[in-house]
Amino acid sequence: MKIAVCVKEVPDSGPLRRIDPDTKRIDRSGDRSLNAFDLNAIEEALRLNEAGGGGEVVLVCLGPDRALESLRKGLAMGADRAVLISDDAAAGSDLVATSYVLAEAIKRESPDLVFFGQQAGDSDGAVLWAAVADRLQLPVISQVSELEVANGSVTAKRQTEFGYDRIQAPLPAVLAVSDALNEPRYPSLKGIMGAKKKPQEVVSLADLGVPADRAGQAGSRTTVTALHPPPSRGDTQKIEDDGSAAQKILEYLMERKLV
Amino acid sequence: MSTLVFLEHHGSNITKPSLGVLSKAASLDPDTSGIIIGSGVSGLAAEAARYGAARVFIADDARLEAPLPQARVDVIAGLVALHGFGNVLFGASVLASDIAGGLAARLDAGLNWDLADLAVEGDTLVGKRSALGDTVLVDVGWSAEPRLGLIRAGSFEPAETPGAGAVEQVAVALEDFSVKAQMVEQAHEEQTGPSIEEADILVAGGRGLGSPEAFKELEGLAALLGGAVASTRAVVDSGWYPYQTQVGQTGKTVAPKLYIACGISGAIQHKVGMQSSQIIVSINKDPNAAIFDFSDLSVVGDLHAVISKLTALVAERKG
Ligand SMILES: Cc1cc2nc3c(=O)[nH]c(=O)nc-3n(C[C@H](O)[C@H](O)[C@H](O)COP(=O)(O)OP(=O)(O)OC[C@H]3O[C@@H](n4cnc5c(N)ncnc54)[C@H](O)[C@@H]3O)c2cc1C
Ligand SMILES: Nc1ncnc2c1ncn2[C@@H]1O[C@H](COP(=O)(O)O)[C@@H](O)[C@H]1O
């Protein structure tokens, strides 16, 4: 099967994540890596093809040139190639614009399955797949915690607010996977060495035939108008366990009459 | 302005987050309508009227029976084309998020998610949301209509504010691709487990426990403290612990006196289910774990070592 996996490069989690007060966008200057939730999507794509007698796994990413470095991690895991859409005119794309650009890139590939991770660690949107599926006019199943592909269709289990559903859709289809679906593999040394040589195509909006007013700020429909620090949590404490943490927790709970 | 609120239902009730959004929207905009989509749902219109809907649109069709998103995008997109709503609002849920995302693409409309509050400034809607794991609050807007918004569950309590509730049936026309996904089996709770909502103390375990067996350690501590054991979606989806004990967006919302989070990263979808706990103590080996951003006592360390010692200390104290 040919499987496209949409992956995003995100800032490393940590104390330095912040929004740039001037551009009101997420500060992308620090260390960055492949969105951890997307590793589950890559892993599942690899497993499906390993079990089903081959195929191709293509990573698709909208991001700056530098994102190639993060994409190499996915190639090292075993993906066959990467397509990076990199264009200054695409910076600041919101959901509407991002979904348009990604859908155009995916159309060129005509995959049997399109995978997404459960959420981007920096935006926590968990909505992009639905927008891309609508643009591709394909069925979509989200929050997938188990899946099976057989006889040209996919059956998936998902959790909602009310328990578990089981949903079936014919291929091609769009799936967003839960981070509990599998355990992503670590790239082997051979995988890491080989990743650099795998095809990595960098395309512009023009290459995809995306009109400039469909991407970036011009193609976006949402704005950020003001930033505020959140209310302070008041009196909080942080300790490193040096063997005495349990004792400190006990004292803390006793002071508050919780034990 | 005119506003449309998607009213999700489960069984014979409109969900609480949807009613909360409806009554909030009605307080901001008297021209607020609700839409109920499903099969055999006409009876729900009265409830919508009670929470402020001036009009209630009903899309009733056997093909809309299962709670799947894409056919609902068709229905709402059609209604927006007909009436030109300025705002289309949703109480966040798995279904609502997938509808809102699809609708954004279909209408080329802006979608803001995770909104915790809404306000009208001048003649336009402004959303308030937190971002980056709640480390910053942002005011968000829309540069075109309709403005689509997903409101974080629990942000607005439903308030009874009667609206006229004029009922209108909606013609249902569906795209071929929208009915390709089919429900095979709908919403069943896999296992049963203890109720965690009444407990004063919850000891919660996440994937950091490393194995289902490790939950025994937490059960020991919870028993000594007179509490119960809670969990995250990651461990429930992995089959480590029952769904009944899951805290978060698609699990339970709890507010115990004490919540001890062990090996839990603190994802936003988990946080929304436990942030009202009076005291939050968390143990995580990653000093940058998001859970520490909203804990009263943060312990950086290995949970197995800390929990076994803490259990022994509490046992000793209890004699
Ligand atoms: C629509 C939607 C709905 C969702 N609903 C929910 C929901 O209702 N509830 C929910 O919980 N999640 C929900 N999620 C999933 C959520 O985003 C996270 O994926 C999930 O909460 C992660 O669970 P976790 O913290 O157990 O696992 P992880 O994120 O994997 O975190 C494990 C943590 O354990 C720590 N750790 C590992 N080993 C040790 C050790 N030995 N000692 C100490 N610490 C250790 C790690 O540092 C890490 O921080 C939802 C997601 C989506 C998209
Ligand atoms: N810029 C991007 N390029 C490619 N895929 C993306 C991008 N942003 C998000 N995704 C995918 O969409 C999923 C959900 O993202 P979000 O809706 O932003 O939380 C991620 O897990 C990725 O699979």
Q: How confident is the model at residue A28 (pLDDT cuts 50, 70, 90)?
A: low
Whole-number Å distance, alpha carbon B269 to ligand 1 midpoint, is: 9
Mean of pLDDT over chain A: 93
Intervals of CATH 3.40.50.1220 along chain B: 201-318
Q: How far is B252 from chain A (nearest CA, A)?
A: 9
Q: Is A15 on the interface with B (CB under 8 A)?
A: yes
CA distance B136 to B128: 11
The reported pTM is 0.95
In terms of DSSP H, where are the helices of chain B? 16-28, 45-50, 69-83, 94-107, 215-225, 233-237, 268-274, 303-318
Q: What is the DSSP letter of A159?
A: E
Task: Name the nearest CA neighbour of A127 among B96, B6, B101.
Answer: B101
Ranges A15-19, A86-90, B88-92, B276-280: which has the least confidence: A15-19
Query: Who's near A130: CB < 8 A, 6+ residues apart?
Result: A140, A142, B69, B97, B98, B99, B100, B101, B102, B105
> What sign results for the dihedral spanned by CA atoms B13, B119, B131, A42?
positive
The residues pairing with B183 across neighbouring beta strands, listed in sequence order, are A167
Domains with residue ranges and CATH for chain A: 2-219 (3.40.50.620)
B127 contacts B141 by C-beta, under 8 angstroms: yes
- Residue A123 has a pLDDT of 83
Cβ B306–A241 below 8 Å, yes or no?
yes
Residue B209 gets the label, from left (phi > 0), alpha (psi -120 to 50) or beta, of alpha
A229-259 pLDDT, tens per residue?
777 777 899 999 999 999 999 999 999 999 9
Q: Count of CB atoms within 10 A of residue A30's CB? A: 11
pLDDT of residue B193: 64
Indicate the pairing of strand A56-62 with strand A81-85. parallel
Q: Tens place of pLDDT for every residue, chain B, 319 residues?
A: 899 999 999 989 999 999 999 999 999 999 999 999 999 999 999 999 999 999 999 999 999 999 999 999 999 999 999 999 999 999 999 999 999 999 999 999 999 999 999 999 988 899 999 877 777 889 999 999 999 999 998 899 999 999 999 999 999 999 999 999 999 999 777 656 668 999 999 999 999 999 999 999 999 999 999 999 999 999 999 999 999 999 999 999 999 999 999 999 999 999 999 999 999 999 999 999 999 999 999 999 999 999 999 999 999 998 8
pLDDT of residue A121: 86
pLDDT of B190:
61
Could you tell me where in chain B the CATH 3.40.50.620 domains are found?
A: 3-179
* pLDDT (tens digit per residue) in A91-136: 999 999 999 999 999 999 999 999 999 999 888 899 999 999 999 9
Tell me the average pLDDT across A47-59: 94
Q: Which residues of A touch B105 (CB under 8 A)?
A: 96, 99-100, 103, 130-132, 134-135
pLDDT of amino acid A168: 98
The C-alpha R_g of chain B, in whole angstroms, comes to 22
Residues of A in contact with B187 (CB under 8 A): 160, 162-165
Contact B243 A163 (CB under 8 A): yes
Report d(CA B178, CA B98) in Å as an integer: 12
User: Which positions in chain A touch B292 (Cβ < 8 Å)?
Assistant: 238
Residue B187 is predicted with a pLDDT of: 78
A211 touches chain B (CB under 8 A): no
Nearest CA in chain A to B96: A127
B305 lines ligand 1 (CB under 6 A): no
A26 contacts B313? CB cut-off 8 A: no
Is the CB–ligand 2 distance for residue A6 below 6 Å?
yes
Task: Inform me whether the C-beta atom of residue A133 falls under 8 Å from chain B C-beta atoms.
Answer: yes
Interval between CA A105 and ligand 2 midpoint (Å): 14
Strand (E) or helix (H) holding A51: helix A36-51
The Å distance, Cα A99 to ligand 2 centre, comes to: 9
Q: Is B286 in the pocket of ligand 1 (CB under 6 A)?
A: yes
ipTM: 0.95
Q: Residue A75 — pLDDT band, cuts 50, 70, 90?
A: very high
Cα A101 to ligand 2 centre (Å): 12
Read off the tokens for B209: 């426990």
Whether residue A25 is predicted with pLDDT greater than 80 in this model: the reply is no
> Is pLDDT of A16 > 60?
no
User: What pLDDT shows up at residue B192?
Assistant: 63
What residues of chain A lie within 8 A of the CB of B101, using their CB?
95, 99, 127-131, 134
pLDDT tens string A156-212: 999 999 999 999 999 999 999 999 999 999 999 999 999 999 999 999 999 999 999
**Best of A157, A240, A258 to disrupt the B interface by mutation (most B CBs within 10 Å)?**
A258
**Are B277 and A258 contacting, i.e. CB atoms less than 8 angstroms apart?**
no
Going by C-alpha positions, the residue among A220, A202, A232, A213 that lies closest to residue A25 is A220
Chain A interface mutation, best of B98, B135, B259, highest count of A Cβ atoms under 10 Å: B98
Q: Using an 8 Å Cβ cutoff, are B115 and B129 in contact?
A: yes
At how many degrees (to 10) do helices A245-255 and B303-318 cross?
50
If one counts every other C-beta atom within 10 angstroms of the C-beta of residue B139, the result is 18
pLDDT at residue A17 tops 80:
no
Which CATH number applies to B3-179: 3.40.630.30, 3.90.78.10, 3.30.43.10, 3.40.50.620? Answer: 3.40.50.620
Dihedral sign, Cα of residue A186, residue A188, residue A193, residue A194 = negative
Q: Which of B61, B56, B10, B67 is nearest to B33 (CA)?
A: B56
- Token pair listed for A141: 């199943």
CATH superfamily assigned to domain B201-318:
TPP-binding domain (3.40.50.1220)
CA A137 to each of CA A60, B102, B172: distance values in angstroms, whole numbers, following the listed order: 18, 10, 18
CA dihedral A234, B261, A179, A93 (to 10 degrees): 0
Nearest 5°: CA angle at B24, between B18 and B26? 100
Instruction: State whether A134 and B106 contact (CB < 8 Å).
Output: yes
